[in-house]
Structure formats: structure tokens, C-alpha cells
Structure 1
Amino acid sequence: MAAGVGSQDLLITLIGTYFLGQDRPIPSVFLVRLLQEFDVSPVGARNGLSRLAARGLLVLHKPGRNTYYRLSPEAHNHHAERLSEIVNFGEYPIEWDGTWTVALFTVPEKERAQRHLVRSRLAALRFAMLYDGVWVRPGALKNQVSATLSSLNLQKVTVLSGAAVDGGFRGGNPVSAFALESLRESYEQFAASLQTLRADIDAGRVGAADALLQRARVMQDWRNFPDHDPLLPDELLPHDWPLHEARKAFTEVYDGLAELADHRFRSLLADYSTDLAGEVRSLTSAELLALHLPPKGLGPLTGMPDPLLTKE
């Protein structure tokens, strides 16, 4: 699994992936056994379940001496939205009217914590720093930015929305504020890392147990991109931008491993609930793609802070 992925992340990811649309309680002994496939100890798995229940993401059921869990309604709805967002990412072009939003603010040097908070809030809205105290992003987003910054009691704030920019010089072009080269490298490395796996899938060299592990790993790796890509419109990106090739690699692996991964998941579950095992399956990228309409323009992050991705 990817570095830093813990038992809570895996539990929510796997429950949300394989029990999407299901409301039946899941045996806790199965969830503990499932996480052993990912080298999570029984103690770590039980701790993860308890913490998720304490956070309200899982609902505990305890008829008699048996323990069961299921996603809370809020977590279920959010996971469906988040899963669709992750898989849809990169499928549709971003519409743009050619304008920019510019946020300018002043924070005294002694209030460094406040400065960090402002930058974090702007980054969550996909802004990038052009100059110190000057942040930009394509598209009109005046209301969201004004509401965000006004709540922070800054010394001085100005928001310019709908500004036309005729390029710039000496690094002054707003596009230069975005770390596109490092993002390009990340996309290219991601696609390259899947070449051998794609060949093994085509040749039938992947077993069911490995398919379950690899599919979860690929999802965990890919889900970082929607959170860190600034989602610039095509007009502002280099002509050979690697997002689409990276997405193609992701969907081929995610869908290519689906049948085997589902088989492994059901075979593990059948030891604890044959009825439930007969009902579960994951959705393909095409099915997830159909859950939501394509984006209509440049907006802030479409997902809430993801409980499935919160570090433990």
C-alpha cells in the first residue's frame, strides 16, 4: 500500500467501494480479516474500527455477542460523491471565460500562524501565489473568496474578480504561479509505474489476492491528483499535458483488476456471510462516471475534506 495509508483510510475505502448502495451491517470479524490482506494487524484493524465509529463514520451494531458495522448515512453519501469525483477526474475539459480572480492581503510578520491559515484556505480554493500576498486562479470566484477571507479578520484584503490578463513578463504571467513542472513529473511517474501492471493484466498474470491489493493501491495513489491539481483550463496548459494519459492508465488498471479483486473480496466475505457476499460488487469507472454530470466551470474543491483520506 501507499506510504502513510492507515487502517481507517483502508476501512472506509474498502467499505465504501464494495458496499456502495448497501445498508446491511458488515461483520466486524470479516473487516478485521480483510485488513490482514493489507498487512494490518487485528489490533490495528479493531482500533481503526473503533476510531471510525467514534468519529461518526461507522455505525456500530451489536446484536447479542456479535459486532457489526456499516457506513453512516453521511459517510455513505460523501463517499459516493468522493469516489465519483476521483474517478471522473480528468475526463472533462474545464470551461473558462478567460478571466482571473486575484486575492491580495496583508498579514503582519508576527502573525505567521494567520498567514499560514490564509494560504491554506486559498490553496483549498485552488489559488496559487504569484507574489507575496498576491494569489491568483482562473475563473470568477469573488463570492467564495470574499466569504473565506472576510472570516479571518485580516488587516487588508482586496479581491479582484473577472480580471483580464494579457500575459506577463519576467515570470509575471499568472500561469507561472502554478507548479506545473512538478505536477507533470508526478503524472508521468504515475503512468510509468503502471506499465508493468497493465502488461500483467493483459497477459492474465495477476492473481485475485494481488488484484485486490493493487486496485486499492492504485486508487489511493490516483486520489491525490484531484486534491493537488489546480485544474487549469486546457488553454493555459502545455499541449502535451500528461493528465489524460495518466487517467487512461488509472482507469485501465482500476477496471482491469475489478473482476479479480471483486472475486477475492467476495471469497473472504463468504466465510462470514454467504448472503452478503452474493450481493456485493464494486462499480466500474464507467458506472462511477455516470453518477455525476461533468463540471460546468472552474470552482473550488468539489469534495469536502475526505474522511477516507484523513491521516490517523
Structure 2
Amino acid sequence: MDDDILDTSDGPQPRPQSLMLAFFGNHVLEEGDRDLCVYSGSIIDVLGRVGVGEQAVRSTLTRMVNRGLLQRQREGRRMYFGLTPQATRILDDGRTRIWQQGAVNDDWDGSWTLLGFSFPDSWKRQRHDLRSRLTWTGFGALYSGLWIAPGNVDVVGVVEELGLTDHVRIFHARADRATDIELMIRDAWDLESVAARYVTFDKRWTSHRGAGSGDDPIGTRLRLVSEWLWTIRTDPRLPARHLPPDWPARPAQETFRCVAEQTAAPALRMARELLETTPSR
């Protein structure tokens, strides 16, 4: 997956595609009707609330249709957009990361998943695509062609989707007692960068705790979810017992869930008032 957030001096600024996916995740997937299509004018209205202009929304919709992430459906003179199976899989994965797994791994069983690959030098795109997907799935580079992730990770689907099954080897193992796990973690993952994302998120959102949903709960929740996905996307959920005692994921997650809870119902009510939808054909 691409990193759909721009870092600026004002903090992380979500790109339109990241916001678009969060929009459909919040108001289509979470509504339980995956076959719902949303009128383009409604999408323009909501993304406009978080600073995305109409032209940027329209070009993002077109790109996402071309990439197989959204489907178009015309109703008279109006155009509606809905999720494709590919986008649904991406959003389901994000929902699992956010609500089921969480950001803190307190129950690691000591196992590791190892993935090895060797590609021809000309396979730059395949190498980039695999590394991007492995990073999102929680892997870090132990060596250039050997990646590792905590726990028993089912990565077969990722490899198959990329068409790389014949070029990848996957193992599940435990570290020998001679291995310094904490040193290995520091070598394979940029802990300072991961921690900095949590600190940035917590600083930006902690003032919203207990402040209610505000005047624009749908926009607030859209920014919240987009920024949280950016925050966790490179966090492999490393075992908590091998991380520094002041690891910032826990307080950041508490802030996220508090603000998410206080905006959920108001954002849903506003969405039902604002969004024009139609069943997918």
C-alpha cells in the first residue's frame, strides 16, 4: 500500500485517496451494506469539510476507478461510486487492525513468520510492491531478501495476489536462545520512527478527548481515522515485552478510541442526513 499521508510542519496531512478510503470505510463498510453506492456530490461535500477541493475529489475518484478500488454507476445524470472487492479487502484489513488487533501486542506467543525472496534485478516493481505489502502486514527486513514478522502471520494471500508464489518461501519458527530478540527488533524496524508517529498522533488529538463531537463530527471522524491508519500502518505490533516501557502506542490508542467513540453516533446521524446513496446493480 502507498503511504497516503504527507508530512508537513503542521503534522500529517491525509492525501485524498487515504481520506476517500476512510470515507467509504466509515460510511459504507461500517454501515454493513457493502453494495451501497454514494453520489459523487455527497462525497465532494464531505471531503470538502477536510480541505479537499472538488477537482481533487473528482480526479481521485477517477484514479481509484482505474486502479480497481471503486466502481462507477450512473443513475440518470448523476454518478455514484461503490466499493470493489479489492477495496473491500483493504478496508476489512484496516478494520481488523484498528478494532480487533489494536496497537499493543501483549499476548505474543514467541513465534515468528519468516519470508524469503530472490528476484531478478529487473523486477523493481515487483520488489517494491512486495516490500510495501509486507510492511503493512507487519514485516521488517532482517536482511534484504529475508523479512520477519512477530507471530503466525498468514501472508500467503498477499503473495498470491502479487503473483509471486513461485519466488517466495515462507516459514514459521522460534528464535534460538542465542538470539538477542531486542537487538534483532532494533535492526529490523525503525522503532524511533514508529514511536514518533504515535507521539504525533497523541499530541494532535488528546485535546479532543472529552470535548464532544464538535460542529462537524463527520469531518472530525474522517480525519481521525485517516491519521490513525497512517500512524499504525508501519507498526508491526511488536511484542510489548521487548519494547521500551514507555512505548507510546498505548496512550495514543486510548486517545484514538476515546475520540472515535464520542464522534461515532453524531457522525452517523450527520452521514444519514448528508449522503445520497443507491443500491449497487
> Aligned partners of 1:12 and 1:114: how far apart in 2?
24
Cα distance change of structure 1 residues 167 and 243 upon mapping to structure 2, 3 Å threshold = farther
Alpha-carbon displacement from aligned partner over 1:232-279 (angstroms, at most 9, x marks no partner)? 22332233332222111001011112233334333433xxx5xx69xx
> Aligned partners of 1:172 and 1:234: how far apart in 2?
11
Alpha-carbon displacement from aligned partner over 1:104-161 (angstroms, at most 9, x marks no partner)? 78899x88959965765764553434567665444467996xx8987449xxxx9875
TM-score for both structures, normalised by structure 2 = 0.70
Aligned residue pairs, count? 260
Extract unaligned runs of 5+ from structure 2.
Answer: 7-12
> Aligned partners of 1:129 and 1:36: how far apart in 2?
39
Q: Cα RMSD (Å) of the superposition?
A: 4.1
Percentage of matched positions with identical amino acids: 27
Q: 1:259 is matched with which residue? A: 265
Deviates more, 1:46-55 or 1:114-123: 114-123
How far the C-alpha of 1:216 sits from its partner, in A, is: 1.2
1:107-186 → structure 2 map (5 Å cutoff): 113=124, 117=128, 123=135, 126-130=138-142, 135-139=147-151, 151-152=166-167, 162-166=173-177, 173-177=183-187, 178-186=189-197
Q: 1:239 is matched with which residue? A: 245
Answer yes or no: is the 8 Å Cα contact 2:16–2:60 preserved in 1.
Answer: yes
Answer yes or no: is the 8 Å Cα contact 1:89–1:226 preserved in 2.
Answer: no
> Aligned partners of 1:208 and 1:54: how far apart in 2?
35
Answer yes or no: is the 8 Å Cα contact 1:167–1:173 preserved in 2.
Answer: no
SS at match of 2:245: coil
How far the C-alpha of 1:77 sits from its partner, in A, is: 5.3
Deviates more, 1:248-257 or 1:11-20: 11-20
Answer yes or no: is the 8 Å Cα contact 2:221–2:260 preserved in 1.
Answer: yes
Does 1:12 pair with 2:21?
A: yes
Cα distance change of structure 1 residues 105 and 25 upon mapping to structure 2, 3 Å threshold = closer
> Aligned partners of 1:132 and 1:71: how far apart in 2?
35
Answer yes or no: is the 8 Å Cα contact 2:113–2:150 preserved in 1.
Answer: yes
SS at match of 2:209: helix
Alpha-carbon displacement from aligned partner over 1:40-80 (angstroms, at most 9, x marks no partner)? 22222222233333333333222332333332355345424
> Aligned partners of 2:229 and 2:259: how far apart in 1?
14
Deviates more, 1:86-95 or 1:178-187: 86-95
SS at match of 1:229: coil
The one of 48, 56, 60 equivalent to 1:36 is: 48
Q: 2:215 is matched with which residue? A: 208
The structure with the largest alpha-carbon Rg is 1
Larger % of strand: which?
A: 2
Q: 1:309 is matched with which residue? A: none
Amino acid at match of 1:235: R
Extract unaligned runs of 5+ from structure 1.
Answer: 278-312
The one of 64, 73, 84 equivalent to 1:52 is: 64
Answer yes or no: is the 8 Å Cα contact 1:26–1:70 preserved in 2.
Answer: yes
Does 1:61 pair with 2:73?
A: yes
How far the C-alpha of 1:100 sits from its partner, in A, is: 4.5
Q: 1:71 is matched with which residue? A: 83
TM-score for both structures, normalised by structure 1 = 0.64
Cα distance change of structure 1 residues 162 and 63 upon mapping to structure 2, 3 Å threshold = closer
